[in-house]
Amino acid sequence: MVITNMILKIYSMKNLLYIITALLAIGIYGCQKGGRLEFSDADAPAPGQVTNVKAVSNPGGAILTYKIPVDPNISYVKAVYEIRPGVLREAKSSTYTDTLSLVGFGDTNPHEVKIYSVGNNEKASEPVIITITPLMPPVKSIFGTVDLSSIFGGVSVSFSNNSKANISVELMVDSSGMSTWAPLYTYYSAAAVGKFSVRGLKSAEKKFAVLLRDRWNNTSDTLFRTLTPRFEVQIPKNTWSILKLPGDLTASVDAGFPIAKLFDGKWAVIGDSFATPNGSPLPQWFTIDLGKKVSMSRFKEHQSPTSHLYVGSAEVESGV
């Protein structure tokens, strides 16, 4: 019995030794530096040119279609063009499609486009040269809809963007009266209709300007207007009080949230707000007596800063 156990142990040790030796051999072989696998032939010639090229112009660009050459070395097709003097762009497309999209033109002038077939070894064919004429780019067409007008305490800019192009609308002011243009605000949008306002301006005549810019840094013309923001001042609240009319809801959920906190100028924490009793019916309304006759231009509403109440709009402004 003892001899048998010794034989089994020796046999197991030999197997273990073989396994360890095999693993070491695999590890040493795996750590050796392997040769580079080349998937392209550096000596292969450039692929043939594309043929049957057609161009369809669109706003600020064009769509190209073509026939890809039958060549095992071809990798992709690219177009090289200038969107304006000195500013080059490239468009690339794999061999799985026969279409290239050219974008970024800021005018409607004729532009030369060079189309190359490129091989797996990055060798390019001789170019096929065509000329395209883009349609009016969005940065130009949108400019024709821009309006700049005076409002209470500032100026307002509006525009239509039917193409929903990504643009920036830059509002500037002549800060010195000597054509020293300073930025007031930049508005970014891809909406079909846009409008924004800049407030806090004095009611004094000034020159304002609006410029549009697209993602390729193409710019529109500049709209200049001499405007006088309408005078406005914040209505003093020292004469305000709650006027209880039939149907008004002025009760609070408890003494810590009285309705007077609606207009005390504080809104940083939940305790700075007015809260009606739980289960109160909707809609709810109340009346504030301003204590004097005023012409109201706009008002601003601040939502309570807490997660368990409605916070769909942290700040609401209404007015003209």
| Virtual torsion, Cα 194, 197, 198, 203, nearest 10 deg | 140
Second CATH level (architecture) for the domain 138-227: Sandwich (2.60)
What is the C-alpha separation between 98 and 199, in angstroms, rounded? 51
**pLDDT number for residue 110:** 97
CA-closest candidate to residue 296, choices 319, 265, 262, 317: 319
What pLDDT score was predicted for residue 272?
A: 82
The residue type at 226: T
Pick from 117, 86, 92, 87: nearest CA to 104: 87
Q: What integer pLDDT is reported at residue 174 of this predicted model?
A: 96
Per-residue pLDDT, 216: 97
Q: Which residues contact 232 (CB under 8 A, 6 or more apart)?
A: 152, 153, 203, 297, 298
CA distances from 233 to 184, 203, 217, 236, 285 (A): 20, 10, 39, 9, 26
pLDDT of residue 1: 47
Domain chopping of the chain, boundaries = 51-132, 138-227, 233-320
Q: Which of 19, 33, 97, 36 is nearest to 64 (CA)?
A: 97
Residue 254: the pLDDT is 86
Its CATH architecture, for the domain 51-132, is: Sandwich (2.60)
Please report the pLDDT score of residue 281 as a whole number.
Answer: 87
Whole-number pLDDT of residue 115: 98
pTM of the model: 0.74
Quick check: do 51-132 and 138-227 share a fold? yes
In terms of Cβ atoms closer than 10 Å to its own Cβ (0-12, 13-18, 19+), residue 91 is buried
In which element (H, E) is residue 140 found? helix 138-141
Residues of the chain whose pLDDT is less than 70? 1-40, 306-320
Cα angle 225, 228, 233; round to 5: 145
Q: Within 10 A of 216 (CB to CB), how many other CB atoms are there? A: 16
